[in-house]
Amino acid sequence: MVEKIKTEVQQLLISGKIKGFLGLREQHGQVGPYLFTDAQDLEGMVIGDRLKPGDSRYPLNKQLMRIARCYPDEVFGVMVRGCDERGLRTLFGSNQLNPEKVVSVGIACPQELADACECLKPFPDEFVAGEPAEARSFQTVAKLDAMEIEDRFKVWLAEFSRCIKCYGCRNICPMCYCKDCTLESRDFLAIGSLPAENPIFHLTRAIHMAGRCIDCGLCNEVCPADIPLRTLYKKIADIVEEEFHYRPGYGEAGTRPSFKILGEDLQH
């Protein structure tokens, strides 16, 4: 599968269409993000399926934003899965990346990963490698929804109580790009003290994921306390779709939601 990506990237680099390709490289026994700039040196490129599908995914769009801010005139390629493509579209829509400066090289996720992610679309619109897997619905959300509201609240309070306030969920998130973060604002939260205010810390972040989370699941994977954040944000995405008929990253590239400010529709 990676050979097809390599061929595509090689052509993009040789033709001069892109200045560099942000992908993954296995070096020194570990897999991490890497900016390939030499068409003759694509040794070690991987797609992030080391021991099992998707076990070494990184928020490449976040790294791309960092590079693009320093070099706004250059065009960069980036490896995208279905979730990454949704991320790119949403970032284009909020002016965090310029669609004319990004060339995506897509891969479709295998069924095993789509199942584990409960992914609604485990492939980008265009991909050079992989076979499209079937979509899966949010069983984790349905399971919690089946509970009485008091019990559900107790479950979440117990999950949040394990938080060590590492800010990893915020730091890894490819959709978190604000210069001033509410989670570091003394007006909203007790900064620099433990434990994290329960449930305010996590509900604050959850609200900020509304209209933004593209369900990549990196927050869930990065959490040292195994808090099922992905399930929480999946639920938020369901609510946003129900209320505003918008799910981040679906529809035409760069499209914005039909509302300007979340909540505006509710006022009328």
Partner 1 sequence: MEYRTVLTTCTYCGCGCGLYLEVMDGHVVNTIPCKTSPVNEGKLCVKGWNVHEFVHSPKRLTQPLLRKNGELTPVSWDEALDFTVKRLREIREAHGSDCLAFLASAKVTNEENYLIQKFARAAVGTNNIDHCARL
Give whichever of 29 and 252 is closer to partner 1, judged by the CB atom: 29
User: Residue 207's CB: how many other CB atoms inside 10 A?
Assistant: 11
Give whichever of 167 and 188 is closer to partner 1, judged by the CB atom: 167
* Cβ 164 vs Cβ 232: under 8 Å: no
In whole angstroms, the minimum distance from the beta carbon of 220 to partner 1 comes to 11
Give whichever of 4 and 165 is closer to partner 1, judged by the CB atom: 165
Give whichever of 77 and 93 is closer to partner 1, judged by the CB atom: 77
Binding residues for partner 1 (CB under 8 A):
19-20, 27-35, 50, 55-58, 63, 66-67, 70-71, 74, 164-168, 171-172, 221-224
Among candidate residues 260, 245, 213, the one with its CA nearest the CA of residue 232: 213
Give whichever of 152 and 170 is closer to partner 1, judged by the CB atom: 170
In whole angstroms, the minimum distance from the beta carbon of 22 to partner 1 comes to 8
In whole angstroms, the minimum distance from the beta carbon of 166 to partner 1 comes to 5
In whole angstroms, the minimum distance from the beta carbon of 178 to partner 1 comes to 15
Secondary structure in 3-state letters for 33-54: EEEECCCCCCCCEECCCCCCCC
Instruction: Output the six-digit token pair for 31.
Output: 């897999």
3-state secondary structure of 21: strand
CA angle, residues 256, 260, 263, in degrees to nearest 5: 120
What residues contact 149, with CB distance under 8 A and at least 6 apart?
Answer: none
**Strand pairing category for 102-106 and 45-46:** unpaired
Give whichever of 51 and 266 is closer to partner 1, judged by the CB atom: 51
CA angle, residues 31, 59, 194, in degrees to nearest 5: 100
